[in-house]
Structure 1
């Protein structure tokens, strides 16, 4: 099969692991060997491998089935992500070509739908240090690839207009949309022609992780605009007139532009960044095609010792603890910072949280439910634990996942049915009081987020326990930031 060419990208460094206060944490990790290992180290490792009890045929069959199910789920989830991104692209193109409120609403709905399956793929992201180097493979690792697709938070002032009160790393009035060239530090960048290639080249320009020019969140910003409500009710409210290419009718928020070229460029950016997203997801979906060679799937299937099993458990713990509980929830919860809210323009963070958690649970249960309702997988960590005589560990994890599910069901219900979004939930009592919310009510809202964080911390303990049960004593799941 033909593997699509991947647009040149830059890689984000792996998140720095640090302990969260009063949190269960796992230590040490056996990833790929350091090239500087001494001969003595190599001899020791070789001895350990040769002394390791031989895996029985039955146990090997369980591992094979687990890796096959995992790979099938990854393929299905990335295929759903690609298919829904293509629908988003159709909606975006229609909107840019004919900007009106109905088409803007349709594009926003398509964005919301596209985020559901993608958020469930983030369980597969934490593969750095596990996958084998292969120059014939189009994508080296999901963790590196993800930087161009889902990086956040972004410094929106680099892309388009922001409010006068905006405080970011990039503070020039010149941005990609309103200027033919911009300067970022000592770098002068020609932005006269907006293309997917330009946006990929500029992502994290100047070495700043906040200088995000690509991916879902750039699309989100271009559809919703900046959310100026802080921890109050309401999301971004970009008018459709921001895309009207008629002189005197083209706007940049409340500003009416006599020259409509800026709206033309805004439309070019939105189309280009959406095309790049489709290209990137096309490449990733190909990496998980059945019977493929020199792909992430073939690499995973080739590692049938406990490296593959370790990777899966590590990914579960790292998304649960370091990424979701810490970086995405605890940081925003402790600081009351809406800039650290994952979908801060659209206020769809509640769905991203829940789908991230669902992605972990999919791998545990061995079942991913596709957009059209089919179940893919068939064998998960739960099945593996039971089949290898570790039912107690499986039962503990099942109970832990029930607590996680219950906690996030509350967050989703509040966001979808009652209109109480995550930016309102994370507000401190002092912040909320400025919006007429009592201390009692705000403590209740913050409790929903805190329950989610606590359930993920407990889940990580269950994952560590399961890893230990199957002989993996030093899982070293990423623990995120310390508070």
Structure 2
């Protein structure tokens, strides 16, 4: 399953919320922006309102206007940061491929880690497909339809490059993109002789399998780190730099030496092509949120802000928190102890992607995104809207839910960053951990960090639903009307 799959895409029923969930939140990036940020650009919203029939008071209309404008401004800022860091990643990748040294590899890995920080915060904008208007002149139909080429996971790495002998996946041929000029995926025969961004895009999810991922962040992650063969034990992937050595006799595929360097050359071509495609995709998405644009996702949101705009925003918060982050990314891995379901399974950076996913939800709640240039963008969030419409108690309760989740997940981030205990080690069952020399008491404590966070998410999900009901949204079904 990959990022484009969501548990119950159109509604967030409380009964399911009681059974599934997990969310991660960190502090420090949600300082409330000055309201002037929204006021200065108010003209953009007002100009789009002319054709809309208003049935709300002036004050209520101003609240919706400010919420929508803050939302699109945060989206633009987050995608702009994502594009900038992707370009930095591309530069580092190119430098590494051209000169495969340990220093250049570490620089590329650091650039990958940095690039994931802003992008993971954009995922709250993803769940829009049931809301956006049809527009043949818009380059991108929806964030959700676009996102699979950028962030799909888990990927079947055997389709791309060599894997360990005990690897089990859907794709089980010895031929892969790196080592063959042509491969067969089911009944499809694919020419892979020339590796380009277009080839990778054409092959993504080839044969209709969501595991056949050939593009995006996680393909780059795999090409930098390689497989993590440590299971639930300590350590990430450890692809050697000799995998990119283009000197005959010195090119490897892990522990195996190659007779010539063509495989290493193709690895470099793949990595460069994946990085180029990522930059191209993010360039297109950043353009969709630029101010004063027409036929874009931004102009679409502004044009229909009075018709389900608030519902979309709250639906997106809940969908990421509950359907994706909680159940798909955390609950499945936690229940099964499966490292294949760990979101950043090659690099062991899952704790950070969880954190920034949740930070993105918090950004929308608080109406505040902090850019990499240390500028606060937004100015008005769901919290402000609840307060301004007379629901201070609901806003306070939801803020408390976020605070509880923040506290629980800060523990996970701290353990991962400061103590080196990664998500794959936290999700291990007691039986799995015992084989790594971890006592049942210690492993129950580690699993408890995840389980406590899941419990906190149940309360947060209920809080989002309660907030929606307080402002007249009986359910968050995208087709329920305004």
Q: TM-score, normalised by structure 2?
A: 0.90
Q: How does 1:16-27 map to 2 (within 5 A)?
A: 16-17=8-9, 23-24=17-18
How many equivalent residue pairs?
Answer: 444
Other structure's SS at 2:17 match = coil
- Partner SS for 1:146: helix
Q: How does 1:262-301 map to 2 (within 5 A)?
A: 262-301=263-302
| CA distance in structure 2 between the aligned counterparts of 1:219 and 1:128, rounded to whole angstroms | 27
Kept in 2, the 8 Å contact 1:414–1:420? The answer is: yes
Q: Which has the higher contact order (CA 8 A, sep 6+)?
A: 2
For 2:49, the equivalent position in structure 1 comes to none
CA contact (8 A) 1:126 1:315 kept: yes
* Equivalent residue, structure 2, for 1:43: none
Separation in 1, partners of 2:446, 2:6: 32
Contact 1:19 1:25 (C-alpha < 8 Å) held by counterparts: no
CA contact (8 A) 1:236 1:346 kept: yes
Whether 1:361 and 2:362 are equivalent positions in the alignment is yes
Compute the displacement of 1:455 (Å).
Answer: 1.6
Q: Distance in 1 between matches of 2:142 and 2:369?
A: 22
Cα distance, 1:341 vs structure 2: 0.2
8 Å CA contact 2:348–2:422 kept in 1: the answer is yes
The structural deviation recorded for 1:415 is: 0.2
CA distance in 2, matches of 1:97, 1:53: 59
Q: Deviations over 1:306-361 (max 9, x none)?
A: 41100000000011111011000000000000000000000000000110110000
- Asked whether 1:402 is paired with 2:403, we answer yes
> 2: CA distance between counterparts of 1:24 and 1:313?
19
- 2: distance between equivalents of 1:19 and 1:155? 32
Q: In the alignment, what sits opposite 1:474?
A: 475
User: In structure 1, what is the equivalent of residue 463 of structure 2?
Assistant: 462
Match of 2:257 in 1: 256
Partners of 1:402 and 1:437 in 2: CA distance: 31
Please state if 1:192 is matched with 2:186: no
Q: 1:322 to 1:399 in 2, by over 3 A?
A: same
CA distance in 2, matches of 1:109, 1:81: 15
Q: Secondary structure at the match of 1:392?
A: helix
Inter-partner Cα distance in structure 2 for 1:11 and 1:407: 24
C-alpha contact (below 8 Å) 1:130/1:311 kept by paired residues:
yes
* Partner SS, residue 190 of structure 2: strand
Cα shift at 1:420:
0.1
User: Mind listing any 5+ residue stretches in structure 1 that lack a counterpart?
Assistant: 1-9, 27-51, 478-483
* Structure-1 residue corresponding to 2:344: 343
* CA deviation map 1:204-239 (0-9, x unaligned): 000000000000000000000000000000000000
Give 3-state SS (helix, strand or coil) of 2:308's partner. helix
Alignment of 1:122-141 (within 5 A): 122-141=123-142
- The aligned runs of 1:85-124 (5 Å cut-off) are 85-124=86-125
CA distance in 1, matches of 2:116, 2:152: 14
**2:17/2:322 contact within 8 Å kept:** no
Partner-residue secondary structure (3-state), 1:249:
coil
- Measured after TM superposition, the shift of residue 400 of structure 1 is 0.5
Q: What is the CA-CA distance between 1:14 and the residue it aligns to? A: 5.3
Give yes or no for contact 2:153–2:211 (8 Å, CA) kept in 1.
Answer: yes
Task: Please tell me whether the aligned partners of residues 320 and 457 of structure 1 are also in contact (alpha carbons under 8 angstroms).
Answer: no
Aligned to 1:213: 214
Map 1:26-65 to 2 at 5 A: 54-65=55-66
Q: Give matches, 1:366-377, under 5 Å.
A: 366-377=367-378
Contact 2:411–2:449 (CA under 8 A) maintained in structure 1: yes
| SS state at 2:178 partner | coil
Separation (CA, whole Å) in 2 of partners of 1:76 and 1:331: 32
Quick check: 14-23 or 59-68, which moved more? 14-23
Return the offset for 1:304: 2.4
CA distance in 1, matches of 2:332, 2:266: 35
Kept in 2: contact 1:159–1:176 (CA 8 A): yes
CA distance 1:471–1:16, change in 2 (3 Å):
closer
Shift of 1:412: 0.5
Cα distance change on mapping 1:58 and 1:110 into 2, 3 Å: same
**TM-score in terms of structure 1 length:** 0.89
Distance change (3 Å), C-alpha of 1:153 and 1:310: same
Q: CA deviation at 1:21?
A: 7.2
The Cα RMSD (Å) is: 1.9
In the TM superposition, residue 476 of structure 1 has moved relative to its aligned partner by 3.9
Relative distance call for 1:25 and 1:249 in structure 2 (3 A) is closer
Question: Counterpart in 1 of 2:240?
Answer: 239
1:407 Cα deviation after fit: 1.3
CA distance in 2: counterparts of 1:291 and 1:453, whole angstroms = 41
